[in-house]
Amino acid sequence: MAPPAVLSIAGSDSGGGAGIQADLKAFAHAGVHGMTAITALTAQNTVGVTGIHPVPPEFIVEQVRAVQADIGVDAVKIGMLGTAITVRAVAEALELVGDVPIVIDPVMVSESGAVLLDDEARQAIVEHLLPRATVITPNLPEARVLAGEGPRDTAAWARGGDPSDDVADLARGLHALGPAHVVITGGHRDELVDVFYDGTEIHTLTGEKHPDGAAHGSGCTHSSTLAAHLALGATPLDAARRAREAASDAVKHGLRGIGAGAGPVDVLNISVRGLTARQLGATDPKEHLSARDIMRP
């Protein structure tokens, strides 16, 4: 039987850390077939974004039409959008995919600090996309902006300036904008808690906080894994739990040696598979070990 097919509508990161490149890895890790409709090309590495080239709106729709016509779409993840024109094109493209789960990661700023969404686009997301979302996955600063609270001092949040009931209120406020479920991700806080709200109950999804020196792509990995598990039939809460676990593991194995900035997350654990036997302390240094060998007790 064929696995579910999941579509990422997002930007390309030439450095391979975030965007569609991270999404395809997360889809493969979750066991679904990944497809892409690229919204923008970014010239990007771990230290910055040097250029953004938006894809013409009609070509965004054409990419979605092509995959829908032949392969079909079981769930959609939406990432970097950039401009209001792109947001409107994506809203039009969603008409083609029918009634499937839609996960929106409202990407605003890259890990390296580049702005990836303009002000008009922010408003367009609230108007055209949030009401159609099955789950939205903003981080805390993005959640504040979508709720119209304006940016606050992220350093203050990281110091623990946000009591969890404050985040719960924020989740309720975002739910009122139309998405069926809200996950506010916790990567930007000292206490690592993702807050999930389904319109009735708040759930806090906790886990160990790993050093985040290589967390570029954690949000993309999270939202893509969430979309994949919805396509596989999980409930939104279970999919959010699995997404947190996969993103957390990907941060834990983050590729610190790649680039001078925040390294890419590693959801496929290639960092472990790429190590030689000697690096792993095996007796026969010629032997390369697979991840399965390493994990065998």
Nearest to ligand MP5 of 16, 236 (CB atom) = 16
Rounded-to-integer distance, Cα 76 and Cα 59, Å: 17
Return the SS3 of 140. Answer: helix
Stretch that binds ligand ATP, among 86-94, 172-180, 185-193, 269-277 (CB under 6 A): 185-193
Among 5, 7, 11, 239, binds ligand MP5 (CB under 6 A): 11
Nearest to ligand MP5 of 224, 232 (CB atom) = 224
Stretch that binds ligand MP5, among 85-93, 152-160, 196-204, 212-220 (CB under 6 A): 212-220
Which residues does 204 contact at the CB level (< 8 Å), separation at least 6? 164, 193, 194, 195, 196
Nearest to ligand MP5 of 39, 271 (CB atom) = 39
Counting contacts by CB under 6 A, is residue 125 touching ligand MP5?
no
Counting contacts by CB under 6 A, is residue 216 touching ligand MP5?
yes
Q: Can you name the residues that pair with 107 across neighbouring β-strands?
A: none
Q: Which of ligand MP5, ligand ATP, none does residue 222 bind to, with CB < 5 to 8 Å depending on kind?
A: ligand ATP
Q: Which of ligand MP5, ligand ATP, none does residue 80 bind to, with CB < 5 to 8 Å depending on kind?
A: ligand MP5
Rounded-to-integer distance, Cα 173 and Cα 179, Å: 11
Ordered alpha helix ranges (H), 84-217: 84-97, 119-124, 140-146, 154-156, 164-175
Nearest-CA neighbor of 38 among 61, 10, 59, 64? 10
CA angle 291, 259, 245 (to 5 degrees): 45
Stretch that binds ligand MP5, among 12-20, 141-149, 168-176, 246-254 (CB under 6 A): 12-20
Return the SS3 of 278. Answer: coil
**Site pattern 105..124 for ligand MP5 (x: CB under 6 A):** --x--xx----x--------
Nearest-CA neighbor of 267 among 283, 255, 280, 281? 255
Least distance between ligand MP5 and beta carbon 109 (Å): 7
CB-nearest residue to ligand MP5? 19
Stretch that binds ligand ATP, among 121-129, 152-160, 162-170, 214-222 (CB under 6 A): 214-222
Among 8, 63, 218, 224, binds ligand ATP (CB under 6 A): 218
Counting contacts by CB under 6 A, is residue 219 touching ligand ATP?
yes
Q: How many CB atoms lie within 10 A of CB 223?
A: 31
Rounded-to-integer distance, Cα 183 and Cα 90, Å: 21
- How many residues sit close enough to ligand ATP to count as binding (CB under 6 A)? 22
Looking at residues 37 to 76 of the shown chain, list those that interact with ligand ATP (rule: CB under 6 A). Answer: none
Stretch that binds ligand ATP, among 70-78, 121-129, 209-217, 280-288 (CB under 6 A): 209-217
Which residues does 129 contact at the CB level (< 8 Å), separation at least 6? 78, 87, 90, 91, 94, 104
Counting contacts by CB under 6 A, is residue 29 touching ligand ATP?
no
Q: Side by side, which strands form the sheet with 181-184?
A: 49-54, 33-44, 5-13, 75-78, 102-104, 135-136, 181-184, 193-197, 202-206
Write out the residues near ligand ATP by the rule CB under 6 A: 18, 111, 139, 185-188, 192, 194, 209-210, 212, 215, 217-220, 222, 244, 247-248, 251
Write out the residues near ligand MP5 by the rule CB under 6 A: 10-13, 18-19, 42, 44, 79-80, 107, 110-111, 116, 216-220
